[in-house]
Amino acid sequence: MEWGSIPGLVRSAATRFAEREAVVEGRTRISYGELGARVERAAAACMAVGVRLGDRVAIWAPNTLDWIVSALGAVSAGAVLVPLNTRFKGTEAADVLERSRARLLFVTGTFLGTSYVASLRRARASGTGPGPLPGLPHLEQVVVLSDDAPAEFRTWKDFLASGDGVDEAQVRAREAEISPSSPSDIIFTSGTTGRPKGAVITHAQTLRGYEIWSDLAGLRQGDRYLIVNPFFHTFGYKAGVIACLMRGATMIPQPVFNVDTVLANIASERISVLPGPPTLHQSLLDHPSRETYDLSALRLVVTGAAVVPLRLVERLRSELRIETVLTAYGLSEASGIVTMCRRGDAAPVIASTSGRAIPGTEVRVVSASGDVLDPGDPGEVLVRGFNVMGGYFEDPEATATVLAPDGWLRTGDVGVLDPAGNLRITDRIKDMFIVGGFNAYPAEIEQLLGLHPDVADVAVIGVPDGRLGEVGKAYVVRRPGATLTADDLMAWSRREMANYKVPRAVEFVGELPRNASGKVVKGELRGR
C-alpha cells in the first residue's frame, strides 16, 4: 500500500488520474486534478483556523461534492473526522459534538426541509460559554456549506478564502506528520447501552480495508459509481469515496434515496457500480417504469444485510444482466468490513451468506461460555485482524466489554459459519434491527421514549415490514392516570428522534415480561 495516509491517497489520485472525471454533481463536473486542488485548499483553510494534528472535525451534511472536499480537507490537515448521521435531531448531534470535543463543524444549510443550524441552536439554547454555539464550549468554528450563513458562523466561501495565506509547502509538511497509525476518523455507533460510542479507526486500517474491498468487488478505473449510501457511514465514505480514489472511478453522490432519481442517474450517467441495502435494489427491480430507462451499464452491485433474498440476487443477474452481485458483512468497530463474497460465488452463497473473512482477518463463532463452535452451530461472531478498532473514543470501560486482550472483537451478532468459512448472520445479540438500511438500536430508542412524561416503562423490538425490511414496535406501560395514545406517542417521537428510530406501532400493556434478574424478555414480546 503506497499511500501511507488518506491525504497521500488524495494526492496520488490527483496525479495518477489527473484528467479523469472525479465527481459529478448536477452540472458540476470536476477532474481528479481539480479535486486534489480543492482538497488542498480546504486543508489550508483548516490549518489557518487553527486545526491541529489529532483535533476532531465534525461534518453534518448529506452526500455532496462539498462533503467530499471538506472532509478530505480536514483529514489532510491532520484532523480526525467525526461524521454525523444526517437523520440525527439537534440533541443527538450535539451529544456527539460534545463528547468528541469537535473544534470545527461543517454543516449543511437546510436538508429535507430542516435547518441543521437551527436544530443545534435549539438543542443547546440554555448553554453558556465561548464559541458560536454557547452550549458547546469546545466548538470554535461552524462552517455552513452554502453561500449564506448566520453572522456568528462562516460561509464555505469565506472559510476557503481564510486559507489563502497557507501555502502548499505548509500543507505538505502537515501531511508528512500524519502516520499510518494516526486515527483517521471516529465513527459513532449506538450500542446496547443506548449511548453512541465512537469507534476509532486509523489511516492504515482504512486504506488496507478498502483496497481489499476494491479488489474483491472488482472496482476499476473508468467505473461510474452512484453513491447513495450515506457518507456518514463507512459504506458510503470508505467503500464509496475512498475506494473511488484508489481506482480512479467517477463518484456521483446522491443526497437522498429516491428510486426515480436513482433510475434517471443510472441512465444519464451510465452508472456501472451501485452498492446499497437490498431495499434499494428491490425498489429498482419493482419500479413500474423500469423498462423505459437504459440500465445496461450496470455491472457491479454490493449489498449486505442479515437477509438478502435469493430471488433478488437471481433477478439482478437475469433481469438487469449484472455480472457481479456480492454480499458483505461489517461493523464500525471493524472498519466496516469483515467478510465478503467473492466474484464467481454461486447465487445461493451470495444470498444466504455474507461471504468469507477478508484477507488479514479471522472470524470465529463461539458459545456463551467462549468455546469455539463447529460449522453449522450458531453463536456469537468474533473478529480479529488489522481492521479491528483500537477502542472506543475515551471509553475504556465500553472498549473492555467488546475487545479481548488477545485482540478478538465481540460483535454482538449471532452467526453460523459453513464448512467453507462463509458467515451467515442469523440474529443480533444486541437486538439491533435494520430499517431501510439504517441500524436501529432498541436500547437507544427505549431511552428516548422513556423521556415522555406519560411513559412508565417501554421495550422496543424490530418487526418485519414489507417495504423497509424491519421497523420498530414499542410495548409501552403508561403512567397511572395517563391517557396517552399510540398516535400521540408516534407524533412526539417524530419530533424527538431520527425518523428511522420512530416506532411504527405502539401497543400498551399492563406490564412488561421480565426475567428473574429484572431484564425484559424480548423473546416473549417477539413471540406475540
Q: List, for residues 388-446, the tens digit of each pLDDT value.
A: 999 999 999 999 999 999 999 999 888 899 999 999 887 667 677 889 888 787 877 88
Cell of residue 336, nine digits: 466496516
Region of poorest pLDDT, from 57-66, 490-499, 513-522: 513-522
What is the tens place of the pLDDT at every residue in 232-245? 999 999 999 999 99
Of 409, 428, 447, the residue that ends a domain is: 428
H/E run at residue 379: strand 379-385
Alpha carbon distance 327, 348 (integer Å) = 11
What amino acid is encoded at 469 in this protein? Answer: G
> Is 49 a member of any domain?
yes
Model confidence at 515: pLDDT above 70: no
Average pLDDT on 147-155 reads 87
> Is 161 a member of any domain?
yes
Model confidence at 130: pLDDT above 70: no
* 375 and 395 assigned to the same domain: yes
> Is 221 a member of any domain?
no
Query: Is there a contact between 57 and 74 (Cβ–Cβ < 8 Å)?
Result: yes
Alpha carbon distance 99, 83 (integer Å) = 13
The model's pTM is: 0.85
Alpha carbon distance 351, 83 (integer Å) = 31
CATH number, residue 403: 3.40.50.12780
3-state percent helix, strand, coil for the chain, nearest multiple of 5: 35, 25, 40
> Is 167 a member of any domain?
yes
> Is 244 a member of any domain?
no
Domain that holds residue 33: 6-186
Cell of residue 468, nine digits: 423497509
Model confidence at 309: pLDDT above 80: no
Of 139, 158, 186, the residue that ends a domain is: 186
Burial string for 14-45 (b: 16+ CB within 10 Å, else e) reads beebeebbbbbbeeeebbbbbbbebbbbbbbb
Q: Does residue 69 sit in helix, strand or coil?
A: helix
* 476 and 356 assigned to the same domain: no
CATH number, residue 471: 3.30.300.30
Burial class from Cβ neighbours inside 10 Å (0-12, 13-18, 19+) for residue 441 reads buried
**CA torsion, ordered 496, 501, 506, 510, to nearest 10 deg:** -80
pLDDT for residue 516 = 45
Average pLDDT on 38-61 reads 98
pLDDT for residue 277 = 84
Query: Cα–Cα–Cα angle for 128, 134, 139, nearest 5°?
Result: 130
Model confidence at 121: pLDDT above 60: yes
| All residues at 6 or more sequence positions from 145 whose CB lies less than 8 Å from its CB, including other chains | 61, 64, 66, 67, 70, 106, 107, 108, 109, 156
Burial class from Cβ neighbours inside 10 Å (0-12, 13-18, 19+) for residue 324 reads buried
Partner residues linked to 126 by β-bridges: none
pLDDT for residue 518 = 54
Region of poorest pLDDT, from 234-238, 353-357, 380-384, 410-414: 410-414
Query: Cα–Cα–Cα angle for 272, 24, 342, nearest 5°?
Result: 30
Model confidence at 521: pLDDT above 90: no
% of the chain with per-residue pLDDT over 70: 95
What is the tens place of the pLDDT at every residue in 272-297? 999 998 878 988 998 999 999 999 99
* 14 and 126 assigned to the same domain: yes
What single DSSP character describes residue 55?
-
Average pLDDT on 134-147 reads 90
Residues in the chain: 528
Q: What does pLDDT average to over the chain?
A: 91
Predicted confidence band at 68 (pLDDT cuts at 50, 70, 90)?
very high
Q: Where are the alpha helices (DSSP H) in 286-411?
A: 310-318, 347-352, 396-402
Model confidence at 193: pLDDT above 50: no
> Is 238 a member of any domain?
no
Q: Does residue 85 sit in helix, strand or coil?
A: coil
What amino acid is encoded at 101 in this protein? Answer: R
H/E run at residue 73: helix 65-76
Q: Is 360 left (phi over 0), alpha (psi -120 to 50) or beta?
A: left
* 314 and 404 assigned to the same domain: yes
Region of poorest pLDDT, from 133-147, 168-182, 439-453: 439-453
% of the chain with per-residue pLDDT over 90: 71
Other CB atoms closer than 10 Å to residue 367's CB: what's the count?
12
Instruction: Give the torsion sign (CA, 214, 218, 223, 227).
Output: negative
What is the tens place of the pLDDT at every residue in 467-505? 898 999 999 999 889 999 999 999 999 999 999 999 999
Query: Is there a contact between 32 and 64 (Cβ–Cβ < 8 Å)?
Result: no
What single DSSP character describes residue 324?
E
| All residues at 6 or more sequence positions from 285 whose CB lies less than 8 Å from its CB, including other chains | 312, 315, 316, 319, 320
CATH number, residue 129: 3.40.50.980
* 91 and 120 assigned to the same domain: yes
What amino acid is encoded at 292 in this protein? Answer: T
* 445 and 303 assigned to the same domain: no
381 to 367, 384, 408: CA distances (angstroms): 9, 10, 10
Model confidence at 192: pLDDT above 50: no
pLDDT for residue 519 = 63
Query: Is there a contact between 496 and 484 (Cβ–Cβ < 8 Å)?
Result: no
Model confidence at 265: pLDDT above 60: yes
> Is 214 a member of any domain?
no
Model confidence at 20: pLDDT above 70: yes
**CA torsion, ordered 147, 150, 153, 157, to nearest 10 deg:** 10
> Is 129 a member of any domain?
yes
Q: Where are the alpha helices (DSSP H) in 255-321?
A: 259-269, 278-285, 310-318
Of 385, 410, 428, the residue that ends a domain is: 428
pLDDT for residue 191 = 44
Predicted confidence band at 517 (pLDDT cuts at 50, 70, 90)?
very low
* 470 and 393 assigned to the same domain: no
* 290 and 381 assigned to the same domain: yes
pLDDT for residue 305 = 65
Query: Is there a contact between 226 and 274 (Cβ–Cβ < 8 Å)?
Result: yes
pLDDT for residue 236 = 94
202 to 68, 186, 363: CA distances (angstroms): 18, 9, 21
- Rg of the chain in Å (alpha carbons): 23
* 409 and 512 assigned to the same domain: no
* 306 and 375 assigned to the same domain: yes
| All residues at 6 or more sequence positions from 280 whose CB lies less than 8 Å from its CB, including other chains | 228, 257, 262, 274, 303, 437
* 317 and 378 assigned to the same domain: yes
Per the structure, the count of domains in the chain is 3
* 422 and 440 assigned to the same domain: no
